[in-house]
Amino acid sequence: MGLTSFTFLVFVLVTLVGYFIVPKKIKWLVLLVSSLYFLFYDNLTFDIVGYVLIILLVAYIFALLIDKYKNETKKAKILVVLSVLIILGVLIFLKYTNFIGITIKHIGNIFGFSYKFQKVYRNVPIGISYFSLIMISYVVDVYRGLCKPQKNILKCALFMSYFPILTSGPFIRYKDMNELYEPHKFDYDRMCRGLIRIAWGVFKILVISERLAIFVNFVYANYLTYNGFYIALAAIFFLLQLYTNFSGSIDIIMGISKIIGIDLPENFNGPFFSRSVTELWRRWHITLGAWLKDYVFYPLQKSGFIQEIGRFTKKIFGKKISKKIMLYLAMLIMWILIGAWHNGAYTFIIGSGILQFIYIFLEDMLTPIAKKINSKLGIDSETFGYKLYQRIRTFLLFALAMIFFSAPSVGKALDIIRNMFVWNPWILFDNKSLYLCGLDLYDFRVLGLAIIVLFVVDYYKYIGKDVTSWLFKQNIVFRWIIIYSLLFAIIIFGCYGVGYNPANFIYRQF
C-alpha cells in the first residue's frame, strides 16, 4: 500500500484504534496482526509466506541455540555463521539472482563463453532488504551477548515484521525494541507530535517530491534535446526528489510509530548541510551506516584478512600508510556492499557505492593539502562563505553520483553526463525554457517556497534543535496557523489525484 494512499490511511486508523482499545496484555498482538496484514497485503502466496517463515524460523531457532551454547564458542560460532548465511542466502536468491546471472554472463563473454541468461522476475516480500538484515543483526547480537533471545516466536515475528519498518526502514536493533511489547496508553501529546511529523512527511512527498519527479522524468526521457543545464537541474532535482521521498516516508512511519508509543531511530539529520561527503553519510540513511559499521565494517577491519594485509604493508610502507590501506580496503568492500544493497545493478553499485568511496577517499587525501593551501593563502575555513562552498560542493557531488542511481544502465548514465556538458545557461533565465518540462511558473514558485521551508527545518535539525518542540512551545493560535498552513499546502499544492501517479517510493522496492 502506498504510504500516501487512502487504503493505508484506513489501515493505520484501524490499527491505532484497535491498539488503544484492547486490554494491555494483547496490545502487542494487535501490532503483530496489523504488521502481518501489511506484510502480506496483496502478496499472500505460498512462496512469499515460505521465504518469510524461513527467515523467521532460522533467526528464532538459531538465536535460542546460540544462547544455549554461549559457553561453547566453537558451536556458537558455527551456528551464527550458518544462520547468517541462510538468511543472506534467501535475500540473495530473491533479489540478486538476475545480477549474479548477468555478471556471470559478462564474465563469460570476456573469456569467450557465450552463456545465455534468462532474467527471472521474482515476487518478494515487502521490506525483505530491511528485515533480513535486521534479523541477521538479531542473531549476531545474541551471539555477541548484547541481548537475550526472544523465547516467544510470535513476539519474534512482531520484531521482524513491525509494519512501519517494512516500507523504508529504519534498521532497528532488537536490544532497543523492548517497547514493542510494552503496552502503551494513548497519549494526546504524543499523538499531536506524531501527527505533525506525519503531515510534514506527506508534505515533503506530495508537494515537493512528486512535483520534482515530473521535471526529472521529462528531462531524463528527453535528455538529448533537453541537455546541458536541463540535465544539471534534473540531477539536482532528482537528489531533492529522492531525499524528500525517502525522508518523507520515514517521517510518516516515525509519526505513526510515535503515536503508538514506540520511538524509532532517526535516519536523517540535515544531510545537505554537511560540509563533506564523509559527513553527509553520517547524516543520510544513518541506520544503514550504523548497521554496516557494526556488522560489516568493524568485523572486516578486525578480521584476520585485513590485519594480515596491515602487517604486510606496514613493513613496506610504514605504520601510517598501512593503517590507511587497511582502512580503505575495508571501506571499499563496505561501499560496494552498500551500493549492492540498494539494488543488484551496476548503476547502484557505482552511484551509491564506489563513487561515494572515491569521494570519501579523495576527501581524506586532499583535506591536509587543502588545509595547507588555506593557511598559506590566509583563507578562513570557518566563514559562512567557505562553509557554503563546502555544502554546495558536497550537494553537487552527491547529485552527480545520483545520476547513476536514477539511470537504467551505466551506459545511459554516462551518456546523460556527457550530454550535460552543453553550454546553455540561458534556459534558466529566459522565462520560458524551464516551463517546457511539465512544470509551469506556479509549480516553480511552490517548489521554491517549499524547498526553502524544507531547508530551514533541516538546518535546525542539523544544529540539533527539535522543530516540533519549538512549535509546541508557541502559543496555540500561532501553532494552529502553522499546522493549518501545512495541511492546506498539502491539500492545495500536493500532486495527487487524477493526472498524477501515486507516490513512487524509490526506496520501497527494498
Q: Which residues bind another protein (CB under 8 A)?
A: 6, 140-141, 143-146, 188, 293-294, 297-299, 301-302, 307, 323, 326-327, 331, 440, 442, 480, 484, 487-488, 491-494, 496-499
Residue whose C-alpha cell is 524528500:
244
CB-nearer residue toward another protein: 188 or 384 = 188
Q: In angstroms, give the least distance from the CB of 145 to another protein.
A: 5
Q: In angstroms, give the least distance from the CB of 497 to another protein.
A: 4
CA gap 269, 280 in Å, rounded: 9
Helices (H) and strands (E) in the chain, counts: 23, 0
CA atoms within 13 A of residue 410's CA, in its CB half-sphere: 11
CB-nearer residue toward another protein: 122 or 372 = 372
Q: In angstroms, give the least distance from the CB of 29 to another protein.
A: 28
Q: In angstroms, give the least distance from the CB of 487 to another protein.
A: 7
Best CA proximity match to 223, nearest among 445, 422, 429, 491: 422
CB 212 within 8 A of CB 243: no
Find all residues with CB under 8 Å of 253, minimum gap 6, and list them.
Answer: 3, 164, 165, 167, 168, 264
CB-nearer residue toward another protein: 470 or 480 = 480
CB-nearer residue toward another protein: 47 or 176 = 176
3-state SS class at 274? coil
Q: In angstroms, give the least distance from the CB of 139 to another protein.
A: 13
Eight-state DSSP code of residue 495: -
Q: In angstroms, give the least distance from the CB of 320 to another protein.
A: 8
Q: In angstroms, give the least distance from the CB of 293 to another protein.
A: 6
CB-nearer residue toward another protein: 14 or 53 = 14
CB-nearer residue toward another protein: 49 or 327 = 327
Compute CA distances 305 → 140, 313, 455, 479, whole Å: 20, 12, 44, 57
Find all residues with CB under 8 Å of 281, minimum gap 6, and list them.
Answer: 289, 356, 360
CA gap 343, 469 in Å, rounded: 37
CB-nearer residue toward another protein: 6 or 423 = 6
CB 231 within 8 A of CB 416: yes
User: Beta-carbon neighbour count of residue 421 at 10 Å?
Assistant: 10
